[in-house]
Chain A
Amino acid sequence: MKYLHLIWAALFRRKVRTFLTLASIVAAFLLFGLLDGIRTSFADLGRNADGAQRLQTASKLSFIETLPLSLLPRISAIDNVEAVTHANWFGGAYQDPKNQLFTFAVASNYLELHPEIEVDPAQLEAWKRTRTGMLVGETMMKRFDWEVGQRIPLQSTIYPNSDGSLDWAFDIVGVLKAKDGASAGFTEALILMHYDYFEESTPYVDGDVGWYVSRVSDVRRSDAVAKAIDALSANSPHETKTMSEQAAMASQLKQMADIGLIVGSIMGAVFFTLLLLTGNTMAQAVRERTSELAVLKTIGFSSTSVLAMVLAESMLMVVIGGVLGLGLAAVIGKAATAGSGGLVNLPPVGLESWMLGLGLMLAIGLLVGALPALRAMRLNIVDALAGR
């Protein structure tokens, strides 16, 4: 630690070069922060404590098949199941059929099973009283400039209304907010309406529901519950498949894209390039200082402490750049999310990303410093001072 000022001085010996190298490192870690944030937020979907308790039951045949409402009491009767709710995909769109929104027609106890969604109790009561009421996520409210109390025309891209047209109208009675930041991207884009109103109005859904969500009291026995639910409808025309919420999300996302693989390969290319770049800088820096290092050794610094100093210098450089880059990623992510009104949703840089990033910084610092540091350690004082 007592050599810190020495290392610092060596690092900023050539200011322009150090700043240019730092800028490259900042760019690399900015990219890392943004991409890893996206990766972890995808991996974390449904992994919250509330999600672990929930099981999703959908048709085994495909996501467009529905399930009979008669399963509801039978699922509720299963041991270890605390509560059951259900939802239907409404397929709502606003103004243009291409403008698809996350609209679910749900049972009135849906929010009781989803405590991570926050609604003002008075608004929740109002929703339960209003047949045509809907609860709208905060992001959607901002995106379309809606206000509580407005009546909003929505088109369903699938279900006709009682008059045969695809036009529906709902009253906004409340706003959905996420309790914590992690699930905000999904929760605050959600729109919930009443299943009862939906089911009575459309001729297509004859007492059928899209999927069931059940909460188990003992998470350790949730596998047994999933099996018991699926056994209810085995060999019937409505066979079901029950998964934990997290597993369901993961399988959906995996079909979308292998995010981990894409992020991994981009970052591989980025860090390989970075390694080369900073390695070159460090080699240059040590080559330039050959005689200074020799002087250090002459006045009594041991070979190992010279090695340690060069390594520390390269690690310090990468860590400074990396921390700046990750910090920048946090700021930019927040700004982009706020500035775009929810159209772009960049997750905040989480603890996991910071830890992984710090580990990477130290590793890269060690790697790029290794060769120059070895060179510095093996330096022959006489040759170096003579400039040979």
Chain B
Amino acid sequence: MNTLKSFLRGGALVLLLVAFLAAWIVLPWPALLALALAFALWMLCTRSGRQAASVTAVGVSTLGQRLGSSSVVIIGIAGVVGVLVALLAMAEGYRHTVSSSGDEETAIVLRGGSSAELMSVLGRDAITAIERAPEIARDADGRPLASPELVVAANLPVRGGGADEDGSVQLRGVGDMAWAVRPGVRLVEGRRFEPGKRELVVGKGARRQFVGLDPGAELRLGNQPWTVVGVFESGDAMESEIWADAEVVATTYRRGSSRASVFARLADASAFNAFKATLDADPRLQVDAQTTLAYFRGQSEGVSKVLRIIGIVVGSIMAIGAVFGALNTMFASVASRAREIATLRAIGFRGMPVVVAVMLETMLLAALGGMLGGVLAWLVFNGYTASTLAGGVAQLTFEFKVSPELLWQGLKWALAIGFIGGLFPALRAATMPVTDALRAA
């Protein structure tokens, strides 16, 4: 009978735990806030709630005496949250950099079946036909805001690498419309390239990544000498590129009059479907049009998903380790206060306040750890620049982005670890036989 009872209790406990974690993951923050408020009301307004509050106050005030073991919980959880937040910040930073390169009002046209600009080829006729689409916005002179662009890859020596170590960079050949299509691109140093000359304007990220991209410097690309004349910033993936005159790039790389893509600024976001329909209806064209938002989001999807999965897998394994650490500490803490707790129960305190008090104490430690880890991750990694080979094509520099949502997510993980780590010791404290505990050391 007794074994059946304890078995049932164990089963119920596991179910409770699973339900709690599921709710914890699914519920948005307003619901959690309401939950916390309800809990606070219970503590203030009911008899057992007030009992719980006073037991918690005693536990928390003696935390200082158990500084060593309490700090193990805090630092253990801080480690989990720090690593988790840092890895997710990497994914978030990458996603943000790439997907903010696009918006819904700009469309990109590629050859049908080409998944990236580097693989796409559009002939002169196709480009002219695309530029005539009526949905494209016009500038003051009535010219369509469409920019045919050519993208090639070039090897350049990497900063901080060996003497022979080259990295790949995207060289984008553009016309003067490129600046009008992308209002976010600002020149921060020097000037724009002059049409027809072998001059380069380099992105801030590319300059940070490669050697010899300072204004005034000469370098060789495609076996020809070029001069860097300016630096631009845009805060997105474009920053990792080098820009030059499209005609000059086409001659250097023997591309004739063909281009890789057309960027077009539409009259407004709702015009995109009509624009796509116009292009699809044209029998001369075999092209794919996407909004730049969709295009760049698609480009970043794979990598940021992989990064997120790695972050969550690593975080989960670390969290399991931290749960056991917290369990250990809280069991020891409950054992060392066995007499105190037994006394409380002997003078009439019920089990519930004791459970709540131990849980609250653990969750307090966990919250401290979560905040510590989040702050550390923010201090060390927010704005940290990293680079990767985007799509196997060219170096892309991006900044880690520790956003408030990530910090909140880290705190949620910390509290979940605290909940599991506190639950079992709390139950032990509440079910300890009073007489045994009073007699013990």
Q: Chain A: residues with CB nearer than 8 A to chain B?
A: 16-17, 20-21, 23-28, 30-31, 34-35, 60-64, 91, 93, 97-98, 100, 155, 157-158, 166, 237, 239, 241, 251-252, 254-257, 266, 269-270, 272-274, 276-277, 280-281, 283-284
A276 touches B76 (CB 8 A): yes
Write the chain A residue with the least CB distance to B115.
Answer: A97
Which one of B72, B113, B166, B387 lies within 8 Å of A277 (CB-CB)?
Answer: B72
Q: A255-B395, A266-B83 are in contact. Are A280 and B329 (CB under 8 A)?
A: yes
For the A-B complex with A21-B328, A63-B155, A255-B395 known, give 4 more contacts whose Cβ atoms are closer than 8 Å. Answer: A20-B325, A20-B331, A273-B322, A283-B68
A225, B394: Cα distance in complex, Å: 29
A63 touches B79 (CB 8 A): no
B83 touches A20 (CB 8 A): no
Q: A24-B325, A273-B76, A273-B322 are in contact. Are A93 and B154 (CB under 8 A)?
A: no
Q: A27-B324, A255-B168 are in contact. Are A157 and B113 (CB under 8 A)?
A: yes
B317 touches A17 (CB 8 A): no
B324 touches A20 (CB 8 A): yes
Interface assignment of B409: CB less than 8 Å from any CB of chain A? no
B75 touches A63 (CB 8 A): no
Which one of B72, B166, B320 lies within 8 Å of A280 (CB-CB)?
Answer: B72
A256 touches B389 (CB 8 A): yes
* A271 CB to nearest B CB, Å: 10
**Subset of 21 A-B contacts with CB under 8 Å:** A17-B331, A26-B321, A28-B321, A98-B302, A100-B115, A158-B114, A166-B113, A241-B155, A251-B165, A254-B161, A255-B389, A269-B82, A269-B83, A270-B83, A272-B79, A273-B79, A273-B321, A273-B325, A277-B72, A277-B325, A283-B68
A60, B82: Cα distance in complex, Å: 42
Write the chain A residue with the least CB distance to B320.
Answer: A27
B158: chain A residues at CB < 8 Å are 255
B114 touches A276 (CB 8 A): no
A25, B328: Cα distance in complex, Å: 13
* B371 CB to nearest A CB, Å: 16
Which one of A20, A27, A276 lies within 8 Å of B327 (CB-CB)?
Answer: A20
Q: A-B pairs with the 6 shortest C-beta distances?
A: A27-B321, A273-B79, A97-B115, A23-B324, A62-B153, A166-B113
A252 touches B115 (CB 8 A): no
A157 touches B119 (CB 8 A): yes
B68: chain A residues at CB < 8 Å are 280, 283
* A103 CB to nearest B CB, Å: 13
Instruction: Select the residue from B152, B158, B318 with max chain A CB neighbours within 10 A.
Output: B318
Q: A64-B152, A272-B79 are in contact. Are A277 and B328 (CB under 8 A)?
A: yes
Overall SS of chain A's interface? helix
B76 touches A277 (CB 8 A): yes
B388: chain A residues at CB < 8 Å are 255-257
Interface assignment of B216: CB less than 8 Å from any CB of chain A? no
A251 touches B166 (CB 8 A): yes
B327: chain A residues at CB < 8 Å are 20
A255, B386: Cα distance in complex, Å: 11
Write the chain A residue with the least CB distance to B313.
Answer: A34
Count of residues in B whose CB is under 8 Å from the partner chain: 51
B72 touches A276 (CB 8 A): yes
Interface assignment of B298: CB less than 8 Å from any CB of chain A? yes
* A173 CB to nearest B CB, Å: 26
A269: chain B residues at CB < 8 Å are 79, 82-83
* B417 CB to nearest A CB, Å: 12
Q: A97-B115, A239-B223, A277-B325 are in contact. Are A270 and B389 (CB under 8 A)?
A: no
B324 touches A166 (CB 8 A): no
B161: chain A residues at CB < 8 Å are 254
A20, B326: Cα distance in complex, Å: 9
B328 touches A17 (CB 8 A): yes
B314 touches A157 (CB 8 A): no
A98, B113: Cα distance in complex, Å: 9
A254: chain B residues at CB < 8 Å are 161, 165
Interface assignment of B112: CB less than 8 Å from any CB of chain A? yes
A61 touches B324 (CB 8 A): no
B212: chain A residues at CB < 8 Å are none
A237, B222: Cα distance in complex, Å: 8
A60, B115: Cα distance in complex, Å: 25
Instruction: Select the residue from A155, A254, A273 with max chain B CB neighbours within 10 A.
Output: A273
A21 touches B324 (CB 8 A): yes
* B305 CB to nearest A CB, Å: 12
B118-132 interface code vs A (CB 8 A; 1 in, 0 out): 110000000000000
A266 touches B314 (CB 8 A): yes
A100: chain B residues at CB < 8 Å are 115
B168: chain A residues at CB < 8 Å are 62-63, 255
Interface assignment of B332: CB less than 8 Å from any CB of chain A? yes
B155: chain A residues at CB < 8 Å are 60-63, 241
A157, B386: Cα distance in complex, Å: 29
* B120 CB to nearest A CB, Å: 9
Write the chain A residue with the least CB distance to B317.
Answer: A31
